[in-house]
A and B are shown apart, each in its own frame.
Chain A
Amino acid sequence: MRLVRSSLGLAALAAGLVLGSSATLAAGDAAKGKQAFMKYGCWQCHGTMGQGSPITGPKLAPDPLPLEAMSTFIRTSRRTMPPYKVEVLPNSDLEDIHAYLSSVPKPVDYKTIPLLAE
């Protein structure tokens, strides 16, 4: 689930918000979402806590995109991340994944971590 925050990606995202999926999405279950996050391989590029990687995919958590926006990108991505159609990733699992990402706590200020503050 590579959310590329380029201008092109945001344009696609905006279009998706207007024209996007017709299904109404609901709040999911964070515990199930963690399992789904692993099952669908999201963690392989974005890390088990959605922390992201400068190489394989940006951070998803904490503070993920709003559910509708995230769904639109996931369904219609034309960037490096392959789109996940509903046949591959059902809406219910996507909702749970969003709930999991929303549950990830914020990181501490790096200045409080001695190894990073130097």
Chain B
Amino acid sequence: MARKDSRPEVSRRKFLAGVAVAGASATAAKAATPGTTAADVKRLPAAVEPMAHQVAAETAVPKDMPHLAGKPNSDFMVDVIKSLKIEHIYSNPASSFRGLHESLINYGKNVMPDFITCMHEESSVAMAHGYFKASGKPQMMLCHGTVGLQHAVMAVYNAWCDRVPLIMVGGNDLDASKRPPGVPTFHSAQDIGALVRDFTKWDDMPVSAQHFAQSFVRAYRYAMTPPYGPVLLSLDAGLQDTPVDDAGLYIPRYVASAPPHADLNALREAAKLLVAAENPVIVVDRMARTADGVKHIVQLAELLQVPVVDQMGRMNMPNTHYLNQTASAQNLIRNADLIVGLECRDFWNTVNQWIDNGEEHGHGLRESRIKPGTKLITISSVELNTKANYQDFQRFQVTDIGMAADAETSLPFLIEAVKSAIPGDKKAAFEKRGEALKKAYQTARERQRQTAALGWDASPISTARLNAEVYNAVKDEDWALVTSTGNTSGWSERLFKMDKHYRWLGSSGASGLGYGLPASVGAAHANKALGRFSVSIQGDGDMMYAPGALWTAAHHDIPLLTVMHNNRGYHQEVMHVQRLSNRRNRVASLGKTAGPIGTSIDSPNVDYAGLARSMGWWAKGPISDPKDLGPALKEAVAVVKKGQPALIDSVTQPR
């Protein structure tokens, strides 16, 4: 907003540099700068012979950027950012925030936060997204407020749908009378927040340094209050360069807001229903953010010996626990008399199904998955913060008890309510239910493993074999499967022993492609400090959206094992084209590719190992013979343990 007369305007209009220096010094009198203070200027006698630098200032060709006396606002902004202990800024450099950029690396010494160079703003956001889910710490993303934010938008939507906090700052040069013409004006807008307002929690456009401090701390607090979400500050280019001129500037202290738990009466009603139910099922999705979340869902399940279906929006229920009955989800839901949904992204689809066929004039079949009379209870934070335009709230589902609250925060209260509601004569029935579930767990486990053996030696490599080999390679590390994109048919959650909350971080949120690689890099960045071994299974189509993230990982020494699920196509789309072709009685045209025209990534095949090597990774592949995969993974793990990223290109079955 308020661009003072101290900066490019002076140089562009060829004013004498000395005039600019004098003006800036007077403006910045309250902010001491080494070597030049307002007091020094005032003490100069008027008749003294000019010093050499004054002569130069009055006679030499003006420099492009006159030296700014005093501390610029952007230095103060760095102090504000540091006060929140933000560790990294994921960014692609841009002129609209050059003031802040300079302050970050020189005044702030590029420490807490440091500047992580990204190749694309969409990758910047996804890296911060992945970093948060691995560490629980929100990071900052800095971009051009126009073209950079335009690049970032899809990833912001992913973060919104995944309820992940993200502090975004977009540079913008507001003063049309002062900003440089040409490209910088193309890159300016009245209201950059409009671009993402439908899927951010809050945004603001500070017009002073103090306003920035208040809004930055507020933005951080809003982002970090469940349900989490991205926030945006529009940062004026002129404001960054203006000297700090307010001696009363302060940085507000950050105090986290207490997260919202469910109404206690509603929880007590839910507890009564849970205790009374014959066949209750708990469905968890994006529930556990922390180790406590996992601990509490296990505690609740054990208390009642209730089967848990984990939809894997996060790692909620250890798959090593016999009450994780995800493998039997369909039967459990069909026979349930009570279903409790905890932070389900799509509860309608949990209790209903839609079949994409030609029925109902091509609209497909809608069928209930549950029997009549089944009671439904939900705890979801989505209702606490939702908007109208984008449809991430999914289809509406009627429930018997609906609680708008944070499920992880609410669970301890629900557990206490359940303890109070359990009558003494129910415990034997719970134990009997538990015994049956132990047997069902073992049966399902054996069935899954026999299914995994189908096509074990197939080439391309089966997705079951891919996951089994990857797990075998990392199982002795303190591993974290940071992403899995391209869909390997759920074999990761069947074959990896997921027993800690960080073993699996969930997916992108909105299924927007271009998430997998940069989010993996961000999560691996966090895990590096946490001493965890990061591994990702990377879809090829997703990789091609954001290959520049490979360079960022190598440049910043981020150890990550990326294993390609290279099925050479956008498989999700294959069946859409096939389905429509069949409905219209046509043979799907393949052209020169393996899948319907437009869905394949072959002819030529992409050399992912070569791509990775070109950006500083250790890489091997393509590998089509499954017996070659294990040895290659062993080599790659050794590389990652030395602190470098490594990629294996494994050519796989479609799903």
Contact = CB atoms under 8 A, between A and B. Distances in A.
Interface of A: 38-41, 43-45, 47-49, 51-56, 59, 77-80, 82-85, 87-88, 107-110, 113, 115-117
Contact of B462 (A51, A55, A84, A109): A51
A79 B147 CA distance: 45
B454 interface: yes
Contact of A82 (B357, B365, B449, B655): B357
Query: Which 8 A-B pairs give the minimum distances between C-beta atoms?
Result: A51-B455, A82-B582, A51-B454, A53-B655, A53-B489, A110-B449, A115-B468, A110-B453
Contacts of A52: 451, 454
B654 A88 contact: no
Interface of B: 355-359, 365, 446, 449-456, 458, 460, 462-463, 468-469, 471-472, 487, 489-491, 494-495, 571, 574-575, 578-579, 581-583, 585-588, 590, 594-596, 653-655
B179 to A, nearest CB: 52
A64 to B, nearest CB: 13
Contacts of B579: 82
Contacts of A109: 450, 453
Contact of B358 (A59, A82, A88): A82
Given A88-B586, A115-B468, A108 B489 contact: no
A113 to B, nearest CB: 6
A48 B583 contact: no
B455 A47 contact: yes
A55 to B, nearest CB: 4
Given A55-B490, A80-B356, A116-B453, 11 more contacts: A38-B594, A43-B654, A47-B462, A47-B655, A51-B454, A55-B487, A78-B357, A78-B365, A82-B579, A107-B455, A109-B450
Contacts of A49: 454-455, 458
Given A82-B358, A85-B582, A88-B582, A55 B453 contact: no
A36 to B, nearest CB: 11
Contacts of B581: 82, 88
B487 to A, nearest CB: 6
Contact of A55 (B587, B590, B594, B655): B655
A43, A80, A84, A85 — most chain B CB neighbours (10 Å): A80
Nearest to B579: A82
Contact of A56 (B446, B455, B575): B575
Contacts of A38: 594
A74 to B, nearest CB: 10
B456 to A, nearest CB: 6
A53 B460 CA distance: 14
Contact of A85 (B359, B585, B654): B585
B452 A44 contact: no
Contact of B454 (A80, A83, A107): A107
Contacts of A54: 451, 489-491, 494
A48 B653 contact: yes
Contacts of B452: 110, 116
A91 B450 CA distance: 32
B655 A107 contact: no
Contacts of A108: 453, 456
Nearest to B459: A48
B462 A113 contact: no
13 contacts: A45-B654, A47-B458, A48-B455, A51-B454, A51-B458, A54-B491, A59-B451, A78-B359, A82-B581, A82-B582, A82-B583, A88-B582, A115-B472
A98 B455 CA distance: 17
Contacts of A78: 357, 359, 365
Contact of B585 (A44, A53, A87): A87
Contacts of A53: 463, 489, 653-655
A51 B465 CA distance: 12
